[in-house]
């Protein structure tokens, strides 16, 4: 149902007010936003890349060595075409806004190829994550169930792809990818985090892994775990380069609802942190903390 013709003047007046609101100093007024990457296209590229990592789970036809290359190319070529354009847009915009130096004209192609070349390594890393989930959860009936059903695999897959782009210096796109996974899984893993092999998050909902977290190999988290930062004023631009989030060494287990905060906080190898524990200081290797909070 369209607006009554007698109200068109009111609608036009309201539109004038909206246009005028863009004359203010607000940070979201930037009308150059048409040069920004397109969120839907970035997600489309991710949805092409994900099947490449798990082709046997996503293919609509029977696969064998004879047709595998073709099946992969159906996903790879559109993904790379999208990424080249969207990375170029992101870099151009960030340079225009004075937030990053200019890039060579072919940099978006190089960054995209770097990601593509990393796919075999990412597949190996994700295979380890999937096997860790299967072996770590007695409720898992099969590896196939883990890939199809576990939100942690969706979130970790998005993280590992996004981390490659983040490590290459690609702006904006890595967060678009991980926040897309966040919206679907309830798991917030920043693409800047450094996460080792065979990472498993059981259940997953409510897990937060901050931008400067360092997580070793064979680490297991449960739902509701926060690996966060102590509250700091933004102030100094260098704050974004400061380690603000904790380090978990190899073979650490953190149970549901635990909160571990601070860039100087190190949880030593093989430690176990119980449910709902609050930690803002380090633990030596082999520690076990249950039933009460540990703080400063």
Question: Three-state secondary structure along 233-294?
Answer: CCCCHHHHHCCCCCEECCCCEECCCCEEECCCCEECCCCEECCCCEECCCECCCCEECCCCE
Q: CATH top-level class for 33-186?
A: mainly alpha
Dihedral in degrees, nearest 10, Cα atoms 60, 65, 69, 72: 40
User: What is the pTM assigned to this prediction?
Assistant: 0.88
Fold match flag (33-186 vs 193-296): no
116's tokens = 């593509």
**How confident is residue 61, by pLDDT bands cut at 50, 70 and 90?**
confident
Instruction: Tell me the backbone φ, ψ of residue 104, rounded to 5 degrees.
Output: -60, 160
The C-alpha atoms of residue 40 and residue 204 are separated, in whole angstroms, by: 25
Alpha helix (H) ranges present in 137-221? 143-149, 151-167, 173-185
**How confident is residue 296, by pLDDT bands cut at 50, 70 and 90?**
very low
- The answer to whether the beta carbons of residues 266 and 279 sit under 8 Å apart is no
- Fold (CATH) for 193-296: UDP N-Acetylglucosamine Acyltransferase; domain 1 (2.160.10)
Beta-bridge mates of residue 195: 215
Q: Which helix (H) or strand (E) holds 28?
A: none
pLDDT > 70? residue 148: yes
Ranges of each domain in the chain: 33-186, 193-296
**How confident is residue 62, by pLDDT bands cut at 50, 70 and 90?**
confident
């Amino acid at each position: 149902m369209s607006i009554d013709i007698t109200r068109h003047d009111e609608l036009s007046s309201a539109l004038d007010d909206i246009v005028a609101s863009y004359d203010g100093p607000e940070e979201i007024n930037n009308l150059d936003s048409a040069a920004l990457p397109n969120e839907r296209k970035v997600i489309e590229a991710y949805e092409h890349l994900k099947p490449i990592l798990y082709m046997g789970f996503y293919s609509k036809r029977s696969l064998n060595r004879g047709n595998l290359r073709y099946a992969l190319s159906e996903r790879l070529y559109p993904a790379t075409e999208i990424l080249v354009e969207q990375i170029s847009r992101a870099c151009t915009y960030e340079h225009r806004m004075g937030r990053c130096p200019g890039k060579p004209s072919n940099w978006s192609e190089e960054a995209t190829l770097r990601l593509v070349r990393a796919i075999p390594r990412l597949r190996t890393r994700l295979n380890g994550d999937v096997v860790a989930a299967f072996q770590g959860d007695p409720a898992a009936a099969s590896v196939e169930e883990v890939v199809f059903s576990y939100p942690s695999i969706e979130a970790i897959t998005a993280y590992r792809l996004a981390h490659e782009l983040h490590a290459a210096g690609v702006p904006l796109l890595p967060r678009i990818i991980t926040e897309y996974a966040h919206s679907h899984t309830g798991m917030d893993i920043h693409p800047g985090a450094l996460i080792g092999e065979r990472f498993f998050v059981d259940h997953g909902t409510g897990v937060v892994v901050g931008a400067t977290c360092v997580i070793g190999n064979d680490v297991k988290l449960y739902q509701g775990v926060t690996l966060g930062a102590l509250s700091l004023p933004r102030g100094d631009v260098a704050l974004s380069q400061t380690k603000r989030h904790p380090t978990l060494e190899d073979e650490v287990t953190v149970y549901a609802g635990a909160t571990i905060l601070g860039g100087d906080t190190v949880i030593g190898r093989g430690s176990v942190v119980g449910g709902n524990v609050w930690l803002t200081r380090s633990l030596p290797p082999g520690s076990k903390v249950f039933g009460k909070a540990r703080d400063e």
